[in-house]
Structure 1
Amino acid sequence: MSIITKNWYVFYTKSRFEKKVDLALNEKGIESFLPLITVVRKWSDRKKKVEEPLFKSYIFAHADEKERLAVLQTQGVVKCIMFNGRIAVVPEFQIDGIKRLLEHKAESLLVGEYFNKGDKIKVVTGPLEGMEGIVQMNSDGNWVVFNIESIGKSIRAKLSAAEVIKILSD
């Protein structure tokens, strides 16, 4: 009896096909994850809150090799994402971190003398516990950036200073 290993893979979809692919994968019985955020869109006559993908044209699928090939045959899927010449596999803790980030509308990061731009920090409490990021500052205030190295993408979040500690460089 062989053990079937499932990994989180990342797939590139046609533009604006993310939700259709998510639905198709669910119909095939393949676990998928499409991180969505709510944004306000303005038209000339109205404003409306809409859900759109956090990563445009990307969807995650928890699959074994056979299911990974089935995902590639799904209408709207263009390719499996490669990183450093290999199929990108996203660690479970990063998928969990993205889910927690979306559930926990992160508040504000109070950067004081202890935190400086570029400092590496680790979240020690709350829904993002265990995730590591980098303090970044811009005109909107102070942010922590969480890198998802396996797909070469980043997520920005505002956190309370009480939720993070500085990681000392080696």
Structure 2
Amino acid sequence: MCISKPDQWYVLYVKARHERKIENLLKENQIETFLPLVKTVREWSDRKKEIEMPLFPSYIFVKINLKKDTHKVLSVKSYCFFIRFGEEFAKVHEYEINSIKLLLNMNVPMKVENYAPLLKVGEYRRIDKGALKGLNCEIIKADNENKVVVRIDSIKQNIVATVPSSCISEVVA
């Protein structure tokens, strides 16, 4: 007898400013979604208007059984895909979703600030976890899968590796 894993929350990345449209399409396909929206005031030269904006631009949370529902989610539009960290799909715990909902219900002004170290192409960093721990590297690509180059100057060789942000520490002078 095959036991199905319970549904979990995953994060979809969608085309900018298409969050609501994609959310509606997902709901039409019986996919449970969560799109946290916050009210903000936009100002133009002739008027001000209060509008709702996604708390996390380009992100939609979906509660699915990954093996069963992945195709159903990705068939909605070609410009949405799952956020991944290395080989793992980004999962969000139920209590984190509930915390976001609680904050939204408080109706207080908020914005998202990311305190993870932002990697910039050309920066020199130290790898502090994993097989390359202790090596200095240069960031050559900074995105969901950070590419770094470790230079071995004595033999004029380079090692290019994909390293998660969580394994890269402070800037090396």
TM-score range (shorter-chain normalised) is 0.5 to 0.7
Aligned residue in 1 for 2:49: 48
SS class of match (1:99): helix
Is the CA contact 1:11–1:77 (under 8 Å) kept in the aligned structure 2? Answer: no
Sequence identity, in percent? Answer: 41
Residue 79 of structure 1 and its aligned partner are, at CA, apart by: 1.2
Unaligned 5+ residue runs, structure 1? 108-144, 153-170
TM-score when normalising by structure 1? 0.59
Is the CA contact 1:13–1:76 (under 8 Å) kept in the aligned structure 2? Answer: no
* C-alpha distance in 2 between matches for 1:87 and 1:3: 18
2:84 partner amino acid: M
> Could you say what the CA RMSD is over the residues aligned between the two structures, in angstroms?
2.7
Deviations 1:105-153 (A, max 9, x none): 358xxxxxxxxxxxxxxxxxxxxxxxxxxxxxxxxxxxxx7989xxx9x
TM-aligned CA distance change 1:93 to 1:80, over 3 Å: same
Aligned residue in 1 for 2:64: 63
TM-aligned CA distance change 1:7 to 1:147, over 3 Å: farther
Aligned residue in 1 for 2:23: 22
Aligned residue in 1 for 2:85: 83
Alignment: residue pair count: 114
Residue 52 of structure 1 and its aligned partner are, at CA, apart by: 0.8
Deviations 1:59-102 (A, max 9, x none): 00000122232111212642100124311110100010011011
Question: Which of 75, 94, 99 is 2:96 aligned to?
Answer: 94
TM-aligned CA distance change 1:45 to 1:146, over 3 Å: closer
Is the CA contact 1:71–1:77 (under 8 Å) kept in the aligned structure 2? Answer: no
TM-aligned CA distance change 1:106 to 1:40, over 3 Å: closer
SS class of match (2:60): strand
* C-alpha distance in 2 between matches for 1:61 and 1:39: 24
Aligned residue in 2 for 1:7: 8
Structure 1 runs of 4+ aligned residues shifted over 2 Å read 1-4, 145-148
1:64 partner amino acid: N
TM-aligned CA distance change 1:53 to 1:95, over 3 Å: same
TM-score when normalising by structure 2? 0.58
Residue 20 of structure 1 and its aligned partner are, at CA, apart by: 0.3
Residue 57 of structure 1 and its aligned partner are, at CA, apart by: 0.4
* C-alpha distance in 1 between matches for 2:101 and 2:79: 22
Unaligned 5+ residue runs, structure 2? 117-143, 145-173
